[in-house]
């Protein structure tokens, strides 16, 4: 997108075409106006359109331009925060609601894929959280205990099991979450947008929301060439927020994350590396993720930005690390590379905000955008419809609060990842 092959990489090349959209160039009326055409915004539009509500989405760039189109594509249940910690932070009432909704999130995603025949390489064979060393194994064992106590379909695997399912001897064990799976994320968000449009929603791209004004009890959202006047406004721009939603981005520390995609693997390599097509990631602080796409490309990612000196450092590290994990690969060429930003909140949990009368946002998915974003889009739609009250949602309302030392932390993460990868996987 924007003539930048490092923005969406493989996903843009292999995703079905986006639905035809245009720039907003006139003044329109709607029931609900949604800012941002990512997982949350498109999910909200679809759920509103299913109820016959006139919904209009305004997107500054293109559908899936932000984190949704750059995502690894792991459809996970829950957040990074362990269940017991989530309950401690949010309290029993909100915590139990959030755990229930996020535990069911993969089903919501895959149900939409089935119902609307979304072509997005959906595979529901689970995900693998792989343990690095004994400390990593203790972490996943505790995570398994907490989820199993809530009846979740998760299994703690031994190192021998992991060798069969992943194709490497480098992990002490893994947590297999059978609720989860993988998708092609840009294809999914385009498919959700297409379904919403077919049901009556409108999506305008290249249409940044610049101003919000009170219009006789309704809200007028203005772009460069047009406007939408609606009863409710849903801000779904998350870590790529600007203009009207800039304060949402400012309360998050943005963490860069890159991905590399190899050429399609040989049949022999495919038989040993992720033969059941689970998506995987490890327990390192500077974590790595890996998965296969439909064509057998190995997609490998980690923390870091592919710009400046970081581009070559992360590229070289990826090659070394891939061979360390999977020596059976040999010298496989890397054909695509891209990166984006993950918005991190101070407690690694999402935020629900009321910005004004009938102006709401949910943001801060901390690298878990697919399931939570889809479910929270549905929640925002129900809130705008009046089907639920604000206190019925699985998050408490909080005030917008700028992240402390945000710029310094972001620079630290980017430089720190470069230093770690410069030295990493050399033996």
Q: How much is the pLDDT for 1?
A: 85
Report the distance separating Cα 304 and Cα 133, nearest Å.
23
Q: How much is the pLDDT for 426?
A: 60
Q: How much is the pLDDT for 425?
A: 59
Q: How much is the pLDDT for 3?
A: 82
Report the distance separating Cα 210 and Cα 424, nearest Å.
44
Residue partners of 194: CB distance under 8 A and separation at least 6: 18, 19, 116, 118
Topology (CATH) of 5-72+186-251+348-396 = FAD/NAD(P)-binding domain (3.50.50)
Picking from 200, 255, 209, the residue whose alpha carbon sits closest to that of residue 235 is: 209
Say whether pLDDT at 290 is over 80.
yes
Q: How much is the pLDDT for 199?
A: 98
Residue partners of 358: CB distance under 8 A and separation at least 6: 219, 231, 232, 233, 384
Region 392-408 average pLDDT: 96
At 343-356, the pLDDT tens digits run 999 999 999 999 99
Determine which helix (DSSP H) or strand (DSSP E) holds 158, and give its type and residue range: strand 154-158
Q: What is residue 357's DSSP assignment?
A: T
Picking from 197, 246, 195, the residue whose alpha carbon sits closest to that of residue 22 is: 197
Region 230-258 average pLDDT: 95
Report the distance separating Cα 361 and Cα 51, nearest Å.
20
Topology (CATH) of 253-344+404-427 = D-Amino Acid Oxidase; Chain A, domain 2 (3.30.9)
Report the distance separating Cα 352 and Cα 348, nearest Å.
13
Q: How much is the pLDDT for 331?
A: 86
Cβ-based burial of 23 (10 A; exposed 0-12, middle 13-18, buried ≥19): middle
Say whether pLDDT at 427 is over 60.
no
Distance of CA 190 to CAs 37, 82, 116, 135, 389, Å?
9, 31, 12, 40, 30
- What distance separates the 2 farthest-apart alpha carbons in the chain? 67
Region 223-247 average pLDDT: 95
Q: How many CB atoms lie within 10 A of CB 197?
A: 19
At 102-151, the pLDDT tens digits run 999 999 999 999 999 999 999 999 999 999 999 999 999 999 999 999 99
Q: How much is the pLDDT for 243?
A: 87
Predicted confidence band of residue 54 (pLDDT cuts 50, 70, 90)? very high
Distance of CA 241 to CAs 35, 142, 250, 279, 341, Å?
9, 35, 9, 28, 12
DSSP string, 111-147: HHHHHTT--S--B-S-EEEEE-HHHHHHHHHHHHHHH
Q: Which residue has the tokens 């343990």?
A: 131
C-alpha neighbours within 13 Å on the C-beta side of residue 303? 26
Percent of the chain with pLDDT over 90: 96
Query: In the chain, where are the structural domains located?
Result: 5-72+186-251+348-396, 127-178, 253-344+404-427
Q: How much is the pLDDT for 42?
A: 98
Say whether pLDDT at 51 is over 50.
yes
Q: What is the mean pLDDT of the chain?
A: 96
Q: Which residue has the tokens 């843009």?
A: 12
């Amino acid at each position: 997108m924007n003539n930048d092959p490092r923005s969406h990489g493989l996903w843009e090349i292999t995703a079905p075409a986006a639905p035809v959209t245009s720039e907003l160039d006139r003044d329109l009326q709607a029931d609900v106006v949604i800012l941002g055409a990512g997982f949350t915004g498109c999910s909200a539009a679809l759920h509103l359109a299913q109820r016959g509500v006139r919904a209009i989405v305004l997107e500054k760039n293109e559908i899936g331009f932000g984190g949704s189109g750059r995502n690894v594509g792991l459809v996970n249940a829950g957040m990074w925060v362990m269940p017991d910690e989530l309950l401690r932070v949010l309290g029993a009432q909100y915590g139990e609601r959030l755990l229930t909704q996020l535990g069911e999130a993969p089903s919501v995603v895959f149900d939409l894929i089935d119902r609307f025949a979304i072509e997005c390489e959906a595979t529901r064979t689970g995900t693998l959280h792989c343990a690095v060393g004994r400390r990593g194994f203790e972490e996943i064992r505790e995570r398994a205990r907490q989820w199993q106590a809530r009846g979740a379909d998760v299994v703690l695997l031994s190192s021998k099991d992991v060798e069969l399912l992943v194709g490497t001897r480098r992990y002490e064990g893994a947590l297999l979450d059978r609720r989860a799976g993988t998708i092609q994320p840009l294809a999914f968000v385009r498919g959700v947008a297409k379904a919403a449009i077919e049901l009556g929603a409108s999506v305008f791209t290249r249409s940044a929301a610049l101003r919000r004004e009170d219009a006789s009890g309704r809200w007028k959202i203005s772009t460069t060439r047009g406007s939408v006047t609606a009863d409710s406004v849903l801000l779904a721009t998350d870590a790529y927020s600007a203009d009207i939603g800039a304060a949402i981005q400012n309360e998050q520390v943005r963490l860069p994350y890159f991905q590399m995609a190899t050429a399609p693997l040989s049949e022999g390599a495919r038989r040993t590396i992720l033969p059941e097509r689970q998506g995987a990631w490890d327990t390192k602080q500077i974590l790595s993720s890996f998965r296969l796409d439909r064509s057998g490309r190995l997609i490998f990612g980690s923390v870091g930005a592919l710009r400046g000196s970081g581009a070559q450092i992360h590229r070289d590290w990826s090659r070394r690390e891939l061979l360390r994990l999977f020596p059976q690969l040999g010298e496989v060429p890397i054909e695509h590379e891209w990166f984006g930003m993950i918005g991190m909140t101070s407690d690694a949990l999402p935020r629900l905000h009321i910005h004004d009368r009938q102006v709401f946002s949910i943001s801060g998915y901390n690298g878990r955008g697919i399931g939570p974003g889809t479910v929270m889009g549905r929640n925002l739609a129900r809130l705008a419809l009046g089907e639920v009250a604000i206190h019925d949602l699985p998050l408490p309302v909080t005030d917008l609060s700028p992240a402390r030392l945000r710029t310094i932390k972001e620079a630290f993460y980017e430089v720190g990842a470069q230093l770690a990868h410069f030295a990493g996987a050399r033996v």
